[in-house]
Structure 1
């Protein structure tokens, strides 16, 4: 989740909010790729999650990373993140360690950034006795073992979420994801990409499904992270059926976001609890306790980070459907979506694939994929076949992009781990379940040694 945003001066009217989103329009030559990934960090001796304090905690990990030129982000006396050259490192509520990458031109560049981050974290983690695990859900830890990070926004969310859903704390403290942020050239381009992204997000969830465990046992799902999101806070999450209606555009999204309940305002280094109150009422000065506070564009930017649909619109689009994953599959997520979204022919092909899907069909797929993944039925086929088609469209788009690295390799190579999944016909979650039931003898501590990517 984000660190506090900065985004201009006072809000004069609703039109300012629309213009804020419109300002994301960019010519194609300026489109960039921003990859974000989260991972669980843990003690390699005990397999327990790292706490914040101490010589072997998250704070020590953040402080150690500063040797590589990262600058600290503070909240009061606590270091809660790092920034450097357009990238940031931040903490999820339970200490999940997130790299939000800089906006880069090619998947080669973003994957090199991810690899450099791995090397840096590996060096510091070795000194404090830590490992890192790429899964969508913490496989063994009960909630009591997870330390809350010292961030004010999370205290507000933790109080509010049990009022609006059954899995809010599960999401906050025990899930990890990988996502990619992508640009658009115009309102029409944004709408088309948003619709394609929303329709295909459940297919991406199946491709990246790898969270079959909860508190040491099979949880009944292949992507338990995706299941958790089905009941976190449905006022701010989901498949956005209105996005497929006539008249969809920046204004329609603004009207949606204005009525999504707020979490907080951020002033003078402190968070003000606004949970459950609408941004529209804040803008209209109808909330007595903050009537004296002038709405700022930074408030709007912050608010947009607290909305959690399967594809999120800010000044770019965030593809949010995937479980956190093993190192070689992290780069597969941006490659998958760049191939579709950044090539006109591929985007048209993807739209042709999904344009007649109904809201009920999209929702049914989203509801079923967490449990069945590739085996999810859809019309007269399965999500496995949809994943195959999605990969073929993306691969063709990447080939046409012809973005080569120093040795002449195109971005298409980053799809290889995903092609392997489709070729064999079963997900990484099913791979992990097979190991759990056979080689590991149902001892899930094995996952920390065999899948540590540091």
Structure 2
């Protein structure tokens, strides 16, 4: 179906309105050889994917190559350097999100044990040189590997060396979207600092707490555009996406790069449709992103002790207590946010916004999140609500010690 006007795109975003707010979480992790800690190659990855089929997963093929699995609204996909990602099903609460991740990890651990591999959940590969990272035959990655470095010097490191957690959030109306998008954008520096977990590269400290964020800020098509700090509505995002250059188009089972063209050019040529628009949206690598839901994309991957903390924190803020959260950030200065964005990956919770450091704001927002999760009242049979998943953040803030800082402290012992 063709896209003929900007109004078609606005209508597309409006079609994302939800009556019930659900949660989708995507987690990436590295697979390594158990004995050597070398990154798993594609043949080893194929063994893992084929083994996982015993749990009811069905294969996703590109030509004759297995590139992923799906089951019950969940999908397992491969990133360019064979990082493995679980894109979860739509869940009602964090208990379901965490259970889903636990079940997948249990299956993955069994498969890894069978093939002498192990998993590592961290924001940046701490040991492997990028020249030694294996790839896989997914066609879109060949185009990305060729094109991405042209406009971002660390683009290949983003593709092959990083892992993150993404939270997908619903909106009920355009006004609801505007508030949530603004909150997520304004809190991006805090998100980077609080969940920093990538201080090491080639077994040495990088000088940054979230080197992953440093990489993403020097990646083609990424960043935190200044327009995101305004009251972003559907028309503004439609214009933003229309004028964003195309990375590739999918045609006859191949990915073709239309150099220099924007989606607006494609629309004016009468070649725009919803299939290539959805593909285009997925190649905008900004810290926050809109599809028919909002994507929060600035959290470093981490191990099980903090795996559910980020999703719980933001669900408390954005679903449980949006208005109170919005009151906190609404008068923050945009230039403060942009400056903090470029320093929070190094200065962490010491970063200043609105004359207070991010340690202060994190504590304030943690309390708001707690009240939000309590208001949601999703309780287990053991009488635990979603606040139970905030313990990791409580520990970070009580000790003023992020995951990255703990890793650096352990190195010095």
Band the TM-score falls in, shorter-chain normalisation: over 0.9
**1:58 counterpart SS class:** helix
Could you say which residue in structure 2 is the equivalent of 1:428? 403
Matched, 1:196 2:186: no
C-alpha separation in 1, matches of 2:80 and 2:229: 33
Could you say which residue in structure 2 is the equivalent of 1:445? none
Matched, 1:167 2:154: yes
Q: 1:12 aligns with which of 4, 9, 17?
A: 4
Give the Å deviation of 1:151: 1.1
Give the Å deviation of 1:13: 2.8
Question: Taking structure 1 as reference, are residues 15 and 263 closer, same or farther at Cα in structure 2, changes over 3 Å only?
Answer: same
Give the Å deviation of 1:16: 1.8
Which segment is superposed worse, 271-280 or 391-400? 271-280
C-alpha separation in 1, matches of 2:230 and 2:98: 36
Residue 58 of structure 1 contacts residue 95 of structure 1 at CA under 8 Å; is this kept in 2? Answer: yes
Could you say which residue in structure 1 is the equivalent of 2:310? 333
C-alpha separation in 1, matches of 2:226 and 2:372: 27
Could you say which residue in structure 2 is the equivalent of 1:297? 274
Matched, 1:311 2:303: no
C-alpha separation in 1, matches of 2:341 and 2:90: 29
**2:217 counterpart SS class:** helix
Could you say which residue in structure 2 is the equivalent of 1:239? 224
Could you say which residue in structure 2 is the equivalent of 1:451? none
C-alpha separation in 2, matches of 1:179 and 1:128: 28
Residue 28 of structure 2 contacts residue 85 of structure 2 at CA under 8 Å; is this kept in 1? Answer: yes
Give the Å deviation of 1:272: 1.6
Could you say which residue in structure 2 is the equivalent of 1:419? 394
Question: Taking structure 1 as reference, are residues 361 and 267 closer, same or farther at Cα in structure 2, changes over 3 Å only?
Answer: same
Residue 4 of structure 2 contacts residue 267 of structure 2 at CA under 8 Å; is this kept in 1? Answer: no
Which segment is superposed worse, 17-26 or 95-104? 17-26
Q: Deviations for 1:91-146, whole angstroms, at most 9, x for unmatched residues?
A: 11101110000001011001100000011001111011110111100001001110
Could you say which residue in structure 2 is the equivalent of 1:36? 26
Give the Å deviation of 1:331: 0.8
Give the Å deviation of 1:276: 3.7
Q: 2:143 aligns with which of 146, 156, 159?
A: 156
Residue 288 of structure 2 contacts residue 297 of structure 2 at CA under 8 Å; is this kept in 1? Answer: yes
Could you say which residue in structure 2 is the equivalent of 1:354? 329
Q: Deviations for 1:163-217, whole angstroms, at most 9, x for unmatched residues?
A: 1011100100000001210100000100100000111121121111110111111
Please, what is the CA RMSD of the aligned residues? 1.3
Give the Å deviation of 1:11: 2.2
**2:89 counterpart SS class:** coil
Q: Deviations for 1:55-79, whole angstroms, at most 9, x for unmatched residues?
A: xx11111111111111111111111
C-alpha separation in 2, matches of 1:176 and 1:217: 18
Matched, 1:384 2:359: yes
Give the Å deviation of 1:275: 4.5
Could you say which residue in structure 2 is the equivalent of 1:284? 268
Residue 333 of structure 2 contacts residue 354 of structure 2 at CA under 8 Å; is this kept in 1? Answer: no
Residue 160 of structure 1 contacts residue 275 of structure 1 at CA under 8 Å; is this kept in 2? Answer: no
Give the Å deviation of 1:306: 0.7
Residue 94 of structure 1 contacts residue 146 of structure 1 at CA under 8 Å; is this kept in 2? Answer: yes
C-alpha separation in 1, matches of 2:264 and 2:381: 50
Q: 1:111 aligns with which of 80, 98, 108?
A: 98
Q: Say how many residue pairs are matched.
A: 413
Gaps of 5+ in 2: none
Task: Tell me the TM-score normalised to structure 1 length.
Answer: 0.89
Could you say which residue in structure 2 is the equivalent of 1:22? 14
